[in-house]
Structure 1
Amino acid sequence: MPRHARGFDTDAAFAYLARRDRTLGAWMKRIGVIAPEPRWRKPFDPVDALARAILYQQLSGKAAATIVGRVEAAIGSSRLHHDTLARIDDVALRACGVSGNKTLALRDLAAREARGEIPTLRQMSVLHHDDIVAALTPIRGIGRWTVEMMLMFRLGRPDVLPIDDLGIRKGAQRVDRADVLPTPKELLARGEAWGPYRTYASLYLWRIADFADGAKVATKRSQD
């Protein structure tokens, strides 16, 4: 099986996209080259990352970090896995500030890991990104967007386009000077021009959306 490298040549991606789509390219030149994601080279634990993604959902970063810290203290570990989460019951998880739905999601993640259903980092290296999405989205509380963020920011897959992401859709609307947001289906078709570097195009679409919203700093799009 072919092994997928983590990360890609951003200079090559910039040149390719600027040449392939001149409208997007004009924005890219205005923004400048976006540097490679530093986490592409760092090892990470998919199960722990998914557990943290569950805990961070719908919370501010500060509030979520506080809850994660309480859970880590309660289980006596900074590693969130089926064996460490087994050290705490649901009542104690709720006492840490974990909602009922998130508690159920963590238990489902842990059970699936124990059954060997969660691909390891090594296994992911030989899986197509669509296969990784298919393997992880059955987990309670884990949607396609969460997996796409892992694919883009942790695994460095070059050709991921989160078509349901509002920021991506806003960026595409501004690039094309459209009166309305593109639908996910329309964005999927529009994104064909950006392959095989749809991940890099997405990074620019988010920046362009921030320009449109008047943001002074780039919006954080993923969670460690």
Structure 2
Amino acid sequence: MGCAVSGPNVNPDSAVSEERRSPSLEGAPDLKTEPECGGSEEPKEPFLLSEAQKGLIRASWEVLHKDIARVGVIVFIRLFETHPECKDAFFLFRDVDDLQQLKMSKELQAHGLRVMSFIEKSVGRLDQMDKLEHLAFELGRSHCRYQAPPKYYEYVGAQFIQAVQPILKEDWTPEVEKAWENLFKYLAATMRRGFYAEEKMKASQPLLSRKAGAEATPNRI
């Protein structure tokens, strides 16, 4: 993300709070045009997962969870290979050009685990839409504070899907892939809404401060 995807001291067997340091999670393969700064809020992304798809995600996650630390590293190495510009969002990694060296980085391992923990928390909230939306929305807001552009959110989901196919082997089916794509599409869109809501709030703060200052200054005639 490091990036701001989840909190430090990650326990891979439990949900972990979002980290407040820098950027990551991206969502689905559908790229969308980003609105102008301070523009109107994006509409909510519909949650398109059926009960059957939720079951496929949970079943596949049970397998992936056993090796989430390795999956996290693979996802980010692939991300930096396919989208090297993403490294600029990671102050810990931006000056490291050797990807083999990055694979051994404890910071990258920790960050990958944080991202996997975010995915784990999302899987655990598939039947709690309010909590799932809040989780992704707040993560988008934190990414705004750390200047991680929404276009990056789209990349992680695609790299996750590529990374886990060899692990699941014959259990990876077109139906499983579609279910994960739908989940990442929803997460990325909700994070974008959080990003732009935070951006709009930050843009309005200087104006509010000026108004408050003007009201506090007595008129002198």
Q: Which has the higher helix share?
A: 2
TM-score, normalised to structure 2, is 0.26
